């Protein structure tokens, strides 16, 4: 009794401190997932994400001394000295940036999560870091943390918030030159080694996982920095397992890509689509034009049709698509990109059921007319090549019940004939969706 009374004030004070700590740091408390597959499910269910490359390189917009093919590798490719490149920070003033507008565009495109560059190879932090002065908050006239606004808008609108983080760093002199990009410059430090760089990397990851609420995924990038080094050695150099352990400890639901040198949660085929369903979760990343960061001369946009058919192909193999755009330095999105993404979103509004939350095709070989995705008892037949006979053959017989057009709000049944080797659906004489006409096949056993 006595003891209780005298400890009460201390205990209340302790509680207040714990509570305040939780509020101020935006720390996340999560019950850990019960299994790897439970952890991956929400990420895989989203199927379609938006990659965003935004940084100092957006200021020159790909142009330097008459050449116009640069983007986020600007500093390295132009061989610009660090002191000169760093001056772009003083021109980085995206007064048109509006996180709500960006996330509205994300929603309109049908993408369910974003992955934005917290730090690219140039080492410039696009968020409020305390470990470096070279950041958007410290070093630009804007004096603003875009990740804070974006995380809040994502949270409000139910959009996943993911982060890209580059291991190679052309600004931090502790990043060892000998493992770095071809022709490392930016004051290589002959005594640098990863053991000195890792505390900085870990410190930034700690910031990113405690300042912005739940982080959907971490997309570590290793590009070019470990060429010719085995993945075991790379994992050792990057302290991969301890970085991953720390992420798991801070945010057990945050999924991690495979570029630290160990497998982690998902693989990241870049600008190619695996042939057929994969055993491991994967996410294909693809720029909407030919550059990841903003390039004002690049008008080689992929059409809505190309994007949708790519998404359908990847989904039928059980993967995600991370489609990239490079916002402009003034905070606006390239208008062409917004237009294309809006058209993609229009298709998904009608046909999203055949993409989100679905799994890979149950068939080993893909049909000549298109792709198949699945959600429980429903098979989604994505008809890309409309058969001129208007007869669609599906090599499925088990429990086939009913077929209808996904776009048909009345869900009128299409007539079917079954044979030993499969089912033939009579397609209605309509003008098919030139991108992808989806037929739902109910297969209740
Ligand atoms: C990296 C970056 O260098 C690039 O700037 C961009 O951010 C992109 C998304 O990722 O580039 C890569 C990374 C991996 C491969 C190719 C380019 N790869 O595995 O083939």
Cβ atoms of residues 390 and 429 within 8 Å:
yes
Q: Of all protein residues, whose CA lies closest to atom 14 belonging to ligand 1?
A: 223
212 pLDDT above the threshold of 80: yes
Q: Is the pLDDT of residue 10 over 80?
A: no
Per-residue pLDDT tens over the stretch 371-393: 999 999 999 999 999 999 999 99
* Ligand 1 pocket at CB < 6 A: 72-73, 221, 223, 270, 285, 292
Share above pLDDT 90 across residues of the chain, in percent, rounded to a whole number: 78
Chain segment 140-174, per-residue pLDDT in tens: 999 999 999 999 999 999 999 999 999 999 999 99
Closest-CA residue, ligand 1 atom 6, reads: 292
Q: Which atom of ligand 1 is nearest to the CA of 51?
A: 9
Average pLDDT taken over every residue of the chain: 92
Nearest-CA residue for ligand 1 atom 13 is 223
Which of 223, 290, 325 most suits a substitution to test ligand 1, by most atoms within 8 Å of the C-beta? 223
In angstroms, what is the span from residue 271 Cα to ligand 1's centroid? 9
pTM: 0.93
CA 125, 127, 128, 130 dihedral sign is negative
Residue 27 has what pLDDT? 79
Q: What pLDDT digit, counting tens, does each position of 101-146 carry?
A: 999 999 999 999 999 999 999 999 999 999 999 999 999 999 999 9
What average pLDDT does this structure show over 393-418?
94
**Cα dist. 83→61, 79, 89, 351 in Å?**
19, 12, 11, 50
pLDDT at 16 over 70: no
Average pLDDT over residues 33-55: 97
pLDDT of res. 430:
75
Distance between Cα 268 and ligand 1 center (Å): 10
Residue 117 Cα: closest atom of ligand 1? 7
Distance from Cα 367 to the centre of ligand 1, integer Å: 32
Q: Are 137 and 128 in contact (CB under 8 A)?
A: yes
Which pLDDT does position 183 carry in this prediction? 65
Strand 437-442 vs strand 402-405: parallel, antiparallel, or unpaired?
antiparallel
């Amino acid at each position: 009794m006595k003891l209780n009374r005298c400890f009460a004030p201390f205990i209340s004070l302790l509680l207040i401190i714990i509570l305040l700590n939780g509020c101020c740091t935006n720390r996340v408390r999560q019950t850990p997932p019960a299994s790897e597959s439970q952890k991956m499910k929400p990420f895989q269910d989203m199927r379609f994400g938006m990659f965003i490359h935004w940084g100092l390189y957006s200021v020159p917009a790909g142009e330097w001394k008459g050449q116009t093919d640069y983007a986020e590798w600007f500093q390295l490719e132009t061989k610009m000295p660090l002191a000169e490149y760093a001056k772009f920070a003083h021109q980085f003033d995206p007064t048109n940036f509006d996180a709500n507008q960006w996330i509205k565009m994300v929603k309109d495109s049908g993408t369910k999560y974003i992955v934005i560059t917290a730090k690219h190879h140039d080492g410039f932090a696009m968020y409020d870091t305390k470990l470096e002065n070279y950041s958007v908050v410290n070093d630009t006239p804007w004096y603003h943390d875009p990740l804070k606004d974006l995380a809040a808008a994502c949270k409000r609108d139910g959009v996943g918030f993911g982060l890209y983080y580059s291991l190679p760093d052309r600004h931090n002199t502790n990043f060892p030159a000998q493992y770095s990009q071809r022709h490392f410059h930016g004051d290589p430090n002959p005594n640098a080694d990863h053991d000195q760089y890792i505390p900085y990397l870990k410190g930034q990851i700690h910031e990113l996982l405690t300042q912005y609420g739940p982080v959907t995924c971490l997309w570590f990038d290793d590009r070019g920095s470990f060429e010719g080094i085995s993945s075991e050695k790379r994992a050792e150099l990057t302290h991969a397992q301890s970085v991953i352990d720390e992420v798991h400890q801070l945010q057990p639901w945050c999924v991690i890509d495979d570029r630290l040198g160990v497998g982690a949660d998902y693989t990241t085929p870049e600008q190619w689509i695996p042939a057929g369903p994969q055993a491991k979760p994967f996410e294909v990343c693809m720029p909407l034009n030919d550059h990841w960061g903003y390039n004002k001369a690049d008008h080689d946009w992929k059409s809505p049709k190309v994007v949708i058919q790519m998404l359908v192909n990847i989904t039928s193999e059980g993967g995600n698509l991370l489609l990239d755009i490079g916002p402009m330095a003034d905070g606006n999105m390239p208008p062409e990109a917004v237009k294309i993404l809006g058209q993609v979103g229009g298709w998904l509004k009608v046909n999203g059921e055949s993409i989100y939350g679905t799994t890979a095709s149950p068939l080993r070989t893909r049909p000549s007319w298109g792709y198949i995705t699945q959600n429980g008892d429903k098979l989604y037949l994505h008809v890309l090549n409309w058969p001129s006979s208007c007869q669609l053959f599906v090599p499925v017989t088990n429990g086939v019940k009913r077929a209808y057009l996904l776009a048909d709000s009345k869900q009128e049944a299409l007539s079917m004939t079954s044979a030993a080797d499969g089912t033939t659906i009579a397609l209605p004489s309509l003008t098919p969706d030139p991108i992808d006409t989806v037929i739902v096949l109910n297969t209740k056993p």
